[in-house]
Structure 1
Amino acid sequence: MILNYVAYLVAVLAIVMFLSAAIRILREYERGVVFTLGRFTGVKGPGLIILIPVVQQLVKVDLRVVVQDVPPQDVISRDNVSVKVNAVIYFRIVDAERAIIKVEDYMAATSQLAQTTLRSVLGKHELDEMLAERDRLNADIQELLDQQTDAWGIKVTIVEIKHVDINESMVRAIAKQAEAERLRRAKVINAEGEQQAAEKLVEAGMALAREPQAMQLRYFAALHDIAGERSSTIVFPLPFDLLAHLGARPAAGS
Structure 2
Amino acid sequence: MMLDYLAYLVLAVIVIAFLMSAIRILREYERGVVFTLGRFSGVRGPGLIILIPLVQQMVRVDLRVVVEDVPPQDVISRDNVSVKVNAVLYFRIVDAERAIIKVENFMAATSQLAQTTLRSVLGKHELDEMLAERDRLNSDIQEILDQQTDAWGIKVANVEIKHVDLNESMVRAIAKQAEAERLRRAKVINAEGEQQAAEKLVEAGRMLAKEPQAMQLRYFAALHDIAGERSSTVVFPLPVDLLAHLKAGGAEAA
TM category, shorter: over 0.9
Mapped partners of 1:215, 1:68: distance in 2: 78
**Farther off after superposition, 205-214 or 71-80:** 205-214
Is there any run of 5+ residues in structure 2 with no aligned partner, and where?
none
Partner SS, residue 250 of structure 1: helix
1:238 alignment counterpart: 239
Partner SS, residue 21 of structure 1: helix
Aligned partners of 1:28 and 1:46 also within 8 Å: yes
Counterpart amino acid of residue 5 in structure 1: Y
Mapped partners of 2:117, 2:71: distance in 1: 13
2:163 alignment counterpart: 163
Mapped partners of 1:122, 1:224: distance in 2: 69
1:191 counterpart = 2:153 = no
1:67 alignment counterpart: 67
Is there any run of 5+ residues in structure 1 with no aligned partner, and where?
none
1:87 alignment counterpart: 87
Mapped partners of 2:210, 2:36: distance in 1: 103
Counterpart amino acid of residue 110 in structure 2: T
1:104 alignment counterpart: 104
Mapped partners of 2:134, 2:228: distance in 1: 59
Mapped partners of 1:27, 1:9: distance in 2: 33
2:224 alignment counterpart: 224
Mapped partners of 1:113, 1:227: distance in 2: 83
Q: Aligned pair count?
A: 251
Mapped partners of 2:151, 2:44: distance in 1: 21
Shift, 1:243, TM fit? 3.2
TM-score of the pair, normalised by structure 1: 0.93
Mapped partners of 2:118, 2:234: distance in 1: 74
What does 1:31-42 align with in structure 2 at a 5 Å threshold? 31-42=31-42
Mapped partners of 1:171, 1:96: distance in 2: 46
Mapped partners of 1:41, 1:237: distance in 2: 110
- Residues 75-126 of structure 1 show CA distances to partners (whole Å, capped at 9, x for unaligned) of 1111111111111111111111111111100000111011111111111111
- Residues 219-244 of structure 1 show CA distances to partners (whole Å, capped at 9, x for unaligned) of 1222233333434141233242x333
Aligned partners of 1:26 and 1:32 also within 8 Å: yes
Aligned partners of 1:130 and 1:137 also within 8 Å: yes
Aligned partners of 1:219 and 1:237 also within 8 Å: no
The share of aligned pairs that are identical, in percent, is: 83
CA RMSD between the two structures: 1.7
Mapped partners of 2:177, 2:91: distance in 1: 39
- Residues 195-217 of structure 1 show CA distances to partners (whole Å, capped at 9, x for unaligned) of 11111112212222232211112
TM-score of the pair, normalised by structure 2: 0.93
What does 1:204-223 align with in structure 2 at a 5 Å threshold? 204-223=204-223
Mapped partners of 1:134, 1:82: distance in 2: 17
